[in-house]
Amino acid sequence: MNSPLFDLMRVLAIMPLLSLTLPASESIPPPAAPPPPASLEWWREARFGLFIHWGPVSLKGTEIGWSRGAEVPEVEYDRLFRDFNPTRFDARAWARTAKAAGMRYLVLTSKHHDGFCLWDSQYTDYDVMNTPFGRDVIKELSAACRKEGIVFCTYHSICDWWHPDYPLGSPGGKSQKPSPNMDRYNTYLKNQVAELVHNYGPLGILWFDGEWESPWNPDRALDLYRHCRQLQPSLIVNNRVGKGREDMAGTTARGAFAGDYDTPEQRIGKFQNDRPWESCITICQQWAWKPNDPLKTLKQCLQTLVTCAGGDGNLLLNVGPMPDGRIEPRQVERLQEMGHWLKRYGKSIYATRGGPFRPGAWGVSTHHGKTVYVHVLDWQNQDTVRLPAIEKRIVSASVLTGGKVNCTQSAQGIELRVPVKSRQEIDTVIQLRIEGPASEIAPR
Ligand code: FHN
């Protein structure tokens, strides 16, 4: 994608919103500048990140934020921090787990909807320094990530069902605070964002969430985005800073202010190569720690990653660490299995773009330079995968995952045959070398 054009398109997309939100008499503030193309490029090439939802709620094994005032009475939920003492927390182990999984970035909940802060904040006492643990988790983890070459990022909730100034409270935003002050809360929110960037940055991404409630509006969204841009020009900000996210599809409504990328949730995004996107999906079922939470199979995890890449998107795969500070061993093992696959076949994922063959029942395709990778995820009891014709000649065909492929190309299309013994249960990766850049082939 031609980034300057893409950035121009985004700025133009923002303009209508500005005219909607400001009376004609007022001067229109400058549009929020997007991050430099290089910022988005490292992230797009990374393709795979670790999402971590953690906090004192892990002591209960219920969902972070959402169980406050629901399965767990508010008073009890808000007292959990007094018992939060994850003595087996080892930031280096977490960073190494991400690295061994083949992940290139890590996004930790600095503050979820429950208001608890996992760093030493000067703006609240409701933070990890006032627990028996008394250590700055974000400081330790950001440092460990740097040592392991993992880009550190934070998830930060705009809504805050604990903070007295934020108008809505638990359960799930369904109650009203007695004397809220949204302007004062907005200052608190921006001050904490500044703390995270100044004290633990530079960050890769500020992953906002909790934007859907009525106290948040497009003006505050644009102001917060500009604030992030001023704090760190290279910072990537997702579309949940704004009000344009289309629910769990994570796409952005036309004309809405949209941050830097789209965020499908608990599903794989559709093929979209004109605006970056990243699916956030749990490795189990709950975002936060839950004992015996069903764990996705290696096939589910890998095919999810491959299908995201084939759609030209990233995968942010979530774990919920235990109350003692460890990531559950079986989840660590699943991530290591993903890393083993990526060690052998990662060149078909990292630094690739989706297409040129759009996803189909057979699987997806990715490309880099003059190479197209056809990821056959389901042979559908057929001997042949049939793909649309391309104008560029296929110079050679091989099977990255081992074995032989018979490849025929004509004006009618491409046919690929791989003997049964060479087909993989999870992903048979066929490598097609073509006579010119695959990026010149329009998706089909
Ligand atoms: O309410 C949150 C939820 O707890 C979780 O954090 C997900 C992951 O991004 N986002 C919101 C639901 O859309």
Residue ranges covered by each domain of the chain: 4-348, 355-440
Index of the ligand 1 atom closest to the CA of residue 318: 8
Q: Residue 156 has what pLDDT?
A: 98
Establish whether residue 65 lines the binding site of ligand 1, counting it when its CB lies within 6 angstroms of any ligand atom.
yes
Q: Residue 19 has what pLDDT?
A: 35
CATH superfamily of 4-348: Glycosidases (3.20.20.80)
Ligand 1 centroid to residue 345 C-alpha, Å: 31
Spans of the chain, pLDDT less than 50? 1-3, 5-6, 8-29
Establish whether residue 287 lines the binding site of ligand 1, counting it when its CB lies within 6 angstroms of any ligand atom.
yes
Q: Residue 20 has what pLDDT?
A: 36
Q: Residue 17 has what pLDDT?
A: 37
Terminal-residue alpha carbon distance, the chain: 16
Q: Which of 209, 277, 317 to mutate to test the pocket of ligand 1 (most atoms within 8 A of CB)?
A: 209
Say if strands 363-368 and 353-354 run parallel, antiparallel, or are unpaired: antiparallel
Q: Residue 359 has what pLDDT?
A: 98
Q: 389 near 411, Cβ under 8 Å?
A: yes
- 82: exposed, middle or buried (Cβ count in 10 Å: 0-12, 13-18, 19+): exposed
What's the CA gap between 425 and 252, in Å, rounded? 35
Ligand 1 centroid to residue 53 C-alpha, Å: 9
> What letter would DSSP give residue 206?
E
Scan for tokens 């720690």, then name that residue.
289
Establish whether residue 166 lines the binding site of ligand 1, counting it when its CB lies within 6 angstroms of any ligand atom.
no
Q: Residue 125 has what pLDDT?
A: 98
- Beta-strand ranges (E) seen in 70-187 are 105-111, 151-157, 168-169, 175-176
Index of the ligand 1 atom closest to the CA of residue 212: 13
Scan for tokens 């500044």, then name that residue.
194
Scan for tokens 């995004």, then name that residue.
269
Nearest Cα neighbor of 135 from 375, 376, 325, 386 is 325
Say if strands 175-176 and 168-169 run parallel, antiparallel, or are unpaired: antiparallel
Q: Provide the token pair at 43.
A: 């992230």
Q: 244 near 257, Cβ under 8 Å?
A: yes
Q: Residue 9 has what pLDDT?
A: 47
> What letter would DSSP give residue 51?
E
Establish whether residue 201 lines the binding site of ligand 1, counting it when its CB lies within 6 angstroms of any ligand atom.
no
Question: Which H or E run contains 128?
Answer: none
Establish whether residue 357 lines the binding site of ligand 1, counting it when its CB lies within 6 angstroms of any ligand atom.
no
Q: Residue 38 has what pLDDT?
A: 82
What's the CA gap between 44 and 350, in Å, rounded? 8
The CATH code of the domain at 355-440 is: 2.60.40.1180
Q: Residue 22 has what pLDDT?
A: 37
Task: Mark out the alpha helices in 149-278 (DSSP H runs).
Answer: 182-200, 218-231
Establish whether residue 207 lines the binding site of ligand 1, counting it when its CB lies within 6 angstroms of any ligand atom.
no
Other residues' Cβ atoms within 10 Å of the Cβ of residue 401: 21
User: What pairs with residue 207 in β-bridges?
Assistant: 155
- Beta-strand ranges (E) seen in 198-313 are 205-209, 236-237, 245-246, 251-252, 278-282
Ligand 1 centroid to residue 112 C-alpha, Å: 9
